[in-house]
Chains A and B, each alone.
Chain A
Amino acid sequence: MPVPESGFPAGDGEAAVFLESTMPIGLNHPAIQSGVAPFVAAVVVALALGRVGRAAGAVAVLTGLCVTVGWVTGFGLTPMTATRKIILLGLAVAPVAVVLEWAAIGVRGRVALWFAVGVAAMVWVGWPVLARRGIGEALAVGLPLVGYCGWVLAVAGRGSADLLRTASGAAALGLATGGAALFGASALLGQLALAVGSAAGGVLVAHLVRGGGDGSGALGAAAGLPLALLGAAATLYAKMPALALLPLALVPLAPLLPVPQGLPRWRRAGILFALAMAPGGVAIFLTYRVAGPVPF
């Protein structure tokens, strides 16, 4: 390996600045950027907007995502990479979902609409790569990915009458997708997914504290679209195995399982989250087995 002529490490000026500015538990730590910060932001927003009802969850998830994006990647759109497309779609879906909440669209129509949106979004994100491949390979790789995105967004965007279910499912999907992406060698995709999951967790906590609120499809869609795209992107652009998408696709379904209504809300939330994390944990384990330990 070559030795630098100066004898100093490359970029030593920057290194000195970094060492001077870093705190022991610095704000640069990924756990802060993708965990604590979006969680706190979502709790604050959800509590503040509690009276707004259906929009509160979606806006809180959007806020959490914005906090992490601003910290980790910035809001620049050039170059328009797949990751930036996902961020753009993740920022755009929340207001659209809020509007749809008040639109006179039945459940079936909403599910079909979100499925189509998920499919179209993944085509836009993955097209530059898939277009370079032969048509057979493009279909073999692309169809499962667009199907996954359409499915996750349709199920998540459907929402439920109980906000506990939607929020716990979104939090689990975020944690599972983020964990799998980290093992799949993309810290960036992992951090973005964990941020959405943390924000959904913040909405869940706010709901447990304040109560009330409608089980909102807007919350599900606001979290579901970026999480679906991040999971699919981690298989296409990083080392997460496509097989991990199978258990991940079950995560949004878990909160629909019957849980005794008589239980305290905190306990119901815990059970729902655990049910959703079961397939999520399988996805993380599968990725670990295929891709190996976290590389950073």
Chain B
Amino acid sequence: MRYLLLTLAALVLPATALAESYTIDPNHTSIYFAINHLGFTTVYGRFDTFSGKITIDWQKGTGAADVTVDAASVDTNVAKRDDHLRSPDFLNAVEFPQITFKSTALQVGEGGTTGTVEGRLTINGVTRPVSLEVSHIHCGTNPLNQKATCGFDATTRLMRSEFGVNYGLPALGDEVRLMFGVEATKD
């Protein structure tokens, strides 16, 4: 019996020990979006308030990500436009205060510097599948605080109409590009 338990522990423990948990550092993480305005230019904006957890199993190259964004934290550097974006016309931040992303599959590439994250994004109360392309994965020890840190970039494109955000189409672009620069500290 004891031998069986030890064998089971030997099989289980190495796997769980390699599944590392990271907390997104909001001070060194950026979430940007880009959208076409009237066909003239691209308008950029960001979300200032968010939180999240990332779990990585480096041996298997898999993991999970869970991110929550405060919809009202949208910031395009124009206060009145930000008010408009928070209104029922777009993000409807009072009725749906959170934008969430929960991964369904996370795969790190063979070289360990790229990957993909599949997941479900919820905006305006509508949940749709999205796929993020991950690049520039780099992990190491932060020389300033000596904490194990990982960082990466990620991008994806979505059609806002699929999330029920229809106002202003087609004058204001339907396609929205999301860009992430993430730094996360090991728990």
Listed in ascending order, the chain A residues whose CB lies under 8 Å from chain B are 1-2, 4, 9-12, 14-19, 21-22, 28, 72-74, 76, 78-79, 81-83, 128-129, 185-189, 233, 236-239, 291-296
Contacts and interface: CB of A to CB of B under 8 A. Distances in A.
Interface in B95-129: 95, 124-126
25 contacts: A1-B32, A2-B32, A4-B177, A10-B34, A10-B176, A11-B36, A11-B176, A14-B39, A14-B173, A14-B175, A15-B36, A18-B171, A19-B39, A22-B171, A73-B167, A81-B88, A82-B92, A128-B95, A129-B94, A186-B88, A187-B87, A237-B92, A237-B95, A295-B81, A295-B83
A3 to B, nearest CB: 9
Given A233-B88, A292-B80, 10 more contacts: A4-B177, A10-B175, A10-B177, A11-B36, A11-B175, A14-B175, A128-B95, A129-B94, A185-B86, A189-B89
Given A2-B44, A79-B126, A186-B84, A14 B95 contact: no
A101 to B, nearest CB: 32
Given A82-B95, A187-B84, A17 B167 contact: no
Contacts of A187: 84, 87, 89, 167-168
B41 interface: yes
A81 B44 contact: no
Interface string B33-49: 01110111110100000
A95 to B, nearest CB: 26
Contacts of A76: 164
Contacts of A15: 36, 38-40, 173
Contacts of A2: 32, 34, 44, 179
A18 B40 CA distance: 10
B173 A10 contact: yes
Nearest to B93: A237
Nearest to A132: B97
B140 interface: no
Contacts of A186: 84, 87-89
A238 B80 contact: no
Nearest to B81: A295
A186 B38 CA distance: 19
The 5 closest A-B pairs by CB, nearest first: A295-B80, A15-B39, A11-B173, A11-B175, A9-B42
Contacts of A295: 78, 80-81, 83-84
Contacts of B171: 18, 22, 28
Nearest to B176: A10
Contacts of B34: 2, 4, 9-10
A129 B95 contact: yes
Nearest to B126: A79
A17 B32 contact: no
B31 to A, nearest CB: 11
